[in-house]
Amino acid sequence: MTLLKTNGFAPDDGTAYVDTTTGDEVRALTENRIDAIFLMGDSTSTVLMRQLLHTPDAHLFSFTQADGYTRRISYLNKLELPKGSLDFGKDIPAEDVYLIGPTVELIARNDLHPALSDLLLEAAREVHGKAGIFKKRGEFPTPVEHEFPISPDARRYYTSGKSFLYRTFPFWAAGLVARALAAIVPIALLLIPALKIAPTVYRWRIESRIYRWYRVLLELERDAFEPSFDPKRSEELLRHLDHIEDTVNKITVPASFGDLFYALRGHINFVRNRLLSKHADLPAESHQPAKE
């Protein structure tokens, strides 16, 4: 109706519109029951077109302004019927004929699975992608956007074809792999940062077993060399140092951290030697226990 309105026809201008049944078009035209026929879709078969063009006084209307119609009415598409394509012997049609027709859109819901989108587009290409009297091979379907936007999955299909999984594996196997990846990828995205910091956390835990004893050693050494230190406490500090060494010797560390472990033991011996040296320099009476 939009096409007719563009050319000045209106429902109330006295023009009668008849919906003919399939196969009755030629009879209605030859019996002068109708003046023109609009054909589209499956009704435009090659057999019917030949029959109509062989009908006396029947002519195929060529839309010489087809480009203008498709610009004005966005859902129309320009088609070309080449010269002689219906009958080479009789040269029918005698010249190229330009036709127009509505664009058929394949519409789906927003939540359509990408795998099903690929299957539908592949089926549409197999059915409608063959060469025909009005189209070249692979001309349809085509990613032309009219009233509805083209989905990202359809755009990807037209750009690069089916996804890698569905090109490589059978549909059922590709579906399983896709679902597995959908579950694994988020977990992997969480694990990758964790794996990056895991060595740092591991090293920190091992080093913390060793470095925490340095605070004890520093406090013990600082206490022993305070000016107000009581010489009678020297034996007590040495026993405390022996306890520290016994505890440190029970620490289990990997071989790669052996340098830190032996460095700690060496520093314990260093503090012990300082304490023994200080203890040896004390007066002899300070080594004896106090009498009651």
Instruction: Give ∠ CA 154-159-164 in degrees, rounded to 5.
Output: 85
User: pLDDT of 107-163, one tens digit each?
Assistant: 888 888 777 787 888 888 877 777 766 777 766 777 777 778 888 888 877 777 777
Q: Can you say whether residue 199 is alpha, beta or left, with left for phi > 0 and alpha for psi between -120 and 50 degrees?
A: alpha
CB atoms within 10 A of CB 247: 11
Q: Is 99 helix (H, G, I), strand (E, B) or coil?
A: strand
* Token pair 């004890």 in the structure block, residue: 216
Helix 258-280 crosses helix 171-224 at what angle (to 10 degrees)? 10
User: pLDDT of 203-262, one tens digit each?
Assistant: 898 888 888 889 988 888 888 888 777 777 778 888 888 898 999 888 888 888 889 989
Q: Is the pLDDT of residue 284 over 60?
A: no
Residue 166, both tokens: 């569905």
| Residues near 30 by beta carbon (within 8 Å), at least 6 away in sequence | 55, 56, 58
User: pLDDT of 83-93, one tens digit each?
Assistant: 888 788 888 78
For residues 38 and 1, the answer to whether their CB atoms sit within 8 Å is no
Whether the model clears a pTM of 0.85, i.e. scores above it, the answer is no
